[in-house]
């Protein structure tokens, strides 16, 4: 995607590092993301994918490195800051309050209020109905606490929350982990739709085949370090797998 | 009013088929609430007939006793509403009884020793300044503890256990253990008593306003649900619910109006107002006591706070999943400070009610209250695991605790027996609640 070098990246992560008690969870990683692009993050468990995405979503503050959004240095210190930059995240853990219903979770931190400043549950429920009808037509349990929902239904609540607020940058950390075949296909369609609307998406998944289908570029991480980033069109699934396993970029040596 | 964020507990149906189940389903009555009211009535009737059998008269179900019960419950009830927020967010506050004592003694000194010097005894600003000071000091103390918990990362159990000792000690130091009395005469009205009640007409006004509000909420709630095309209750169920709620309110008015002033007070009042007492005496109703109206007001405000504001939503979210709350951009640490400050402020308000009722302030006021307050919240369905609890439940819990206490005094149980029973009931209530929740799933 050579034409992209002229565009301003939506997200430009430069030399990001963070450690937890001596363990370098993310070690000098640089990544970028363009509008309408899906960038996949691959790597073994513990490679640092979730931690890196949490730095962008404001859950963690990097020890060093810079985040640039739309060509401007961004100071993201909290989830609120990230939201202000139109960054939405589907966390691997889903980050749902189990005792609240779908609407309360969807709007958590951004409740709709009426003119007296009181939370408007009816309007939130109605909005939730609308978006769920689009994302998961089988979703019916709107008034139940989300602890009563199946894994797939919980996942759709988390996805709905990220999609509802018109994100420009979307981070999806293993969004299909708890889903069946049919629901996974629906998420894939959703990703394509959002991509066509010009969103930039960081997608984390273990399913290499799915990543080859959905992503424009994939980045492989191991032990907190970036092994390499490749255009999907230029590599085979085996190339990617060997990057993940060996922790080396075979193409880098050729070039 | 069923569309709150707290988990619905109406799901226990299915087991009991038939009319009752249908009725409960249609009216969407919270069966847990029904259980609590049932338990409360059982306690009342039980003590009444036990007294009848043992002492020859049942003293419980009398206007006089129930009126006194309402006054005695107020102080614990006010604090229990705040304890719901604390426990829902997976914390605990063991210091509320001591904060109460500390605020009470400060207010006592302020209105008896300090303010009269500047304003003169009986100045109408005295009681207001005292109340304000009590609530503010309570909030500051609570907020300070909240800061230690949220930002100092010291467990709430430890901070408030320390507070339990510190504020009790501080209460002693304020007046070197002296009892401060008498409190300002207007201040004293906030504790109840014949003059500290709103009388017959006042009670009817309160009751009718309450009924109007109930009808308004039934109608507007239905209209709102229809506007969004949501499920609505059958119309007969709306009537039943409205009538039931209004019936309870009117019943309460009739009850408090059926309790007359004692003859001594009537004489004093007649003399002061140059009324000639007729031969048969005068029937002057107490009406609602001011402390119970304070409790009702606090209960309503706290219910709105918990179910209709962002603040309340965040309280539940933090209780359900603190991590998720943080990731949703909620400042959980500052929330903790605010929750403890609110708890402290309510302890200050309870100090007003408790010291006004006593007519004096002592440094021992509120001793052991923390245990009754926590018990009330827990009996009322607040889960110590966090995330679940209601304000009305906590107030009902406070009534259960106080009813047990009062009932045992009336039938003549000694203090040791009272402790054993209260303790056992607490454990039993939590056990039953767990069973109920497991079934409702
Ligand atoms: N909050 C944390 N505290 C301590 N260590 C952490 C924390 N979050 C992540 N780690 C560590 O950082 C490394 C990367 O984890 P993670 O980003 O979750 O990996 P991935 O998502 O690629 O599976 C792991 O070694 C993990 O144990
Ligand atoms: Mg991960």
ipTM value for the complex: 0.92
- Is A97 near chain B, with CB under 8 Å? yes
Q: Which of A130-144, B343-357, B364-378 has the lowest mean pLDDT?
A: A130-144
Q: Tell me how far the alpha carbon of residue A26 lies from the centroid of ligand 2, in angstroms.
A: 12
Q: What is the pLDDT of residues B285-304, one digit of tens each?
A: 999 999 999 999 999 999 99
- The per-residue pLDDT for B14 is 44
Q: Tell me how far the alpha carbon of residue B204 lies from the centroid of ligand 1, in angstroms.
A: 64
CB-defined site of ligand 1, < 6 Å: A 20, 23, 25, 43, 45-51
A contact test, residue of B84, B324, B390 with most A CBs within 10 A: B324
Mean pLDDT of chain B: 91
CATH topology for B31-197+289-440 is ABC transporter involved in vitamin B12 uptake, BtuC (1.10.3470)
Instruction: For a ligand 1 pocket test, name from A17, A19, A21, A25 the mutation site with the most ligand atoms within 8 angstroms of its C-beta.
Output: A25
How far apart CA B292 and CA B252 sit, in angstroms, is 11
Question: Stretch B280-286: mean pLDDT, rounded?
Answer: 88
Q: Point out the ligand 1 atom lying closest to the alpha carbon of residue A21.
A: 4
Question: Stretch B140-166: mean pLDDT, rounded?
Answer: 98
Write the residue with the smallest CA distance to atom 3 of ligand 1: A20
Question: Stretch B381-389: mean pLDDT, rounded?
Answer: 92
In the beta sheet, which residues pair with residue A230? A218
DSSP characters over chain A: -GGGGGSPPSEEEEEEEEEETTEEEEEEEEEEE-TT-EEEEE--TTSSHHHHHHHHTTSS--SEEEEEETTEEE---SHHHHHHTTEEEE-TT----TTSBHHHHHTTTS--B-TTS-B-HHHHHHHHHHHHHHH-TT----SSBGGGS-HHHHHHHHHHHHHHTT-SEEEEESTTTT--HHHHHHHHHHHHHHHHTT-EEEEE-S-HHHHHHH-SEEEEEETTEEEEEEEGGG--HHHHHHHHHHSS-HHHHH-
Of A97, A122, A143, which has the smallest distance from its Cβ to B228's Cβ? Answer: A122
Write the residue with the smallest CA distance to atom 12 of ligand 1: A25
The CATH classification number of A4-86+168-254 equals 3.40.50.300
- From chain A, the residues in CB contact with B7 under 8 A are 99, 144-145
Residue of A55, A13, A16 lying closest to A224 (CA atoms): A16
Q: Is the pLDDT of residue B365 over 70?
A: yes
Both tokens assigned to B314: 């965040």
Q: Tell me how far the alpha carbon of residue B153 lies from the centroid of ligand 2, in angstroms.
A: 27
* Closest chain B residue to A58, measured at CA: B327
Q: Tell me how far the alpha carbon of residue A25 lies from the centroid of ligand 1, in angstroms.
A: 6
In the beta sheet, which residues pair with residue A145? A101
Distances (CA, A) of B307 to A152, B303, B310, B390: 28, 6, 8, 9
- For chain A, what percent of residues have pLDDT higher than 70? 95
Map out the domains of chain B as residue ranges: 31-197+289-440
Contact B3 A125 (CB under 8 A): yes
- The per-residue pLDDT for B58 is 85
Mean pLDDT of chain A: 92
* Closest chain A residue to B221, measured at CA: A122
Q: Which of A231-235, B249-253, B271-275 has the lowest mean pLDDT?
A: B271-275
Both tokens assigned to B401: 């605790």
Give the 3-state secondary structure of residue B91: coil
- The per-residue pLDDT for B31 is 83
Ligand nearest to the CA of A173: 2
Instruction: For a ligand 1 pocket test, name from A24, A40, A50 the mutation site with the most ligand atoms within 8 angstroms of its C-beta.
Output: A50
Map out the domains of chain A as residue ranges: 4-86+168-254, 99-166
Nearest-Cα distance to chain A for B225, in Å, is 7
* Closest chain A residue to B225, measured at CA: A122
């Amino acid at each position: 995607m050579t034409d992209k070098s002229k565009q301003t990246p939506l997200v430009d992560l430069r030399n990001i590092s963070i450690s937890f008690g001596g363990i370098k969870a993310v070690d000098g990683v640089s990544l970028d993301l363009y509008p309408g692009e899906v960038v996949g993050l691959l790597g073994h468990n513990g490679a640092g994918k979730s931690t890196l995405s949490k730095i962008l979503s404001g859950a963690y503050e990097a020890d060093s490195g810079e985040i640039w959004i739309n060509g401007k240095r961004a100071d993201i210190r909290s989830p609120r800051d990230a939201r202000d930059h139109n960054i939405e995240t589907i966390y691997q853990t889903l980050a749902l309050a189990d005792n609240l219903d779908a609407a309360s979770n969807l709007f958590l931190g951004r409740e709709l209020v009426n003119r007296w400043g009181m939370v408007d549950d009816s309007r939130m429920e109605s909005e939730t109905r609308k978006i769920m009808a689009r994302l998961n037509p089988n979703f019916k349990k709107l008034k139940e606490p989300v602890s009563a929902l199946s894994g797939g239904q919980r996942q759709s609540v988390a996805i709905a929350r990220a999609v509802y607020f018109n994100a420009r940058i979307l981070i999806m950390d293993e969004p299909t982990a708890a889903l069946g075949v049919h629901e996974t296909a629906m998420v894939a369609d959703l990703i394509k739709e959002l991509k066509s609307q010009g969103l930039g998406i960081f997608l984390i998944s273990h399913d290499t085949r799915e990543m080859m289908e959905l992503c424009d570029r994939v980045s492989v991480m191991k032990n907190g370090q970036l092994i390499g980033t490749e255009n999907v069109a230029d590599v085979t699934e085996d190339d990617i797998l060997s990057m993940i396993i060996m922790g080396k970029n075979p193409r880098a040596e050729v070039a | 009013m069923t569309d709150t964020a707290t988990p619905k507990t109406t799901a226990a149906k299915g087991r009991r088929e038939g009319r009752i189940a249908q009725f409960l389903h249609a009216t969407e009555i919270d069966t847990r609430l029904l259980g609590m009211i049932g338990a409360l009535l059982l306690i009342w009737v039980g003590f009444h007939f036990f007294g009848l059998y043992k002492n020859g008269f049942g003293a419980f179900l009398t206007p006089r006793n129930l009126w006194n019960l309402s006054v005695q419950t107020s102080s614990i009830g006010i604090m229990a509403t705040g304890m719901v927020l604390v426990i829902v967010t997976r914390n605990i506050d063991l210091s509320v009884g001591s904060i109460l004592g500390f605020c009470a003694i400060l207010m006592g000194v302020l209105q008896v020793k300090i303010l009269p010097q500047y304003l003169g005894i009986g100045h109408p600003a005295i009681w207001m300044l005292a109340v304000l000071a009590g609530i503010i000091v309570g909030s500051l103390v609570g907020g300070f503890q909240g800061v230690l918990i949220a930002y100092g990362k010291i467990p709430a159990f430890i901070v408030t256990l320390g507070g339990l000792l510190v504020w009790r000690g501080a209460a002693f130091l304020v007046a070197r253990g002296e009892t401060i009395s008498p409190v300002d005469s207007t201040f004293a009205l906030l504790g109840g008593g014949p003059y500290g009640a709103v009388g017959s007409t006042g009670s009817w006004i309160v009751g009718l306003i309450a009924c109007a509000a109930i009808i308004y909420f039934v109608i507007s709630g239905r209209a709102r649900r229809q506007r969004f095309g949501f499920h609505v209750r059958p119309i007969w169920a709306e009537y039943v619910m409205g009538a039931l709620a209004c019936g309870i309110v009117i019943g309460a008015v009739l009850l408090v109006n059926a309790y007359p002033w004692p003859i001594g007070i009537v004489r004093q009042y007649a003399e002061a107002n140059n009324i000639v007492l007729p031969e048969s005496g005068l029937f002057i109703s107490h009406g609602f006591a001011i402390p119970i109206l304070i409790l009702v007001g606090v209960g309503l405000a706290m219910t709105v706070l918990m179910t209709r504001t962002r603040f309340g939503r965040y309280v539940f979210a933090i209780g359900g999943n603190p991590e998720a709350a943080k990731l949703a951009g909620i400042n959980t640490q500052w929330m903790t400070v605010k929750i403890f400050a609110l708890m402290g402020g309510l302890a200050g308000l309870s100090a007003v009610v408790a010291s006004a009722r006593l007519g004096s302030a002592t440094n021992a006021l509120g001793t052991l209250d923390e245990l009754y307050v926590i018990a009330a919240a827990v009996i009322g369905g607040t889960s110590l695991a966090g995330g679940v609890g209601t304000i009305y439940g906590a107030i009902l819990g406070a009534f259960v605790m106080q009813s047990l206490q009062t009932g045992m005094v009336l039938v003549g149980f000694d203090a040791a027996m009272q402790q054993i029973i209260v303790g056992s009931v607490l454990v039993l209530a939590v056990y039953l609640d767990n069973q109920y929740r497991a079934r409702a799933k």
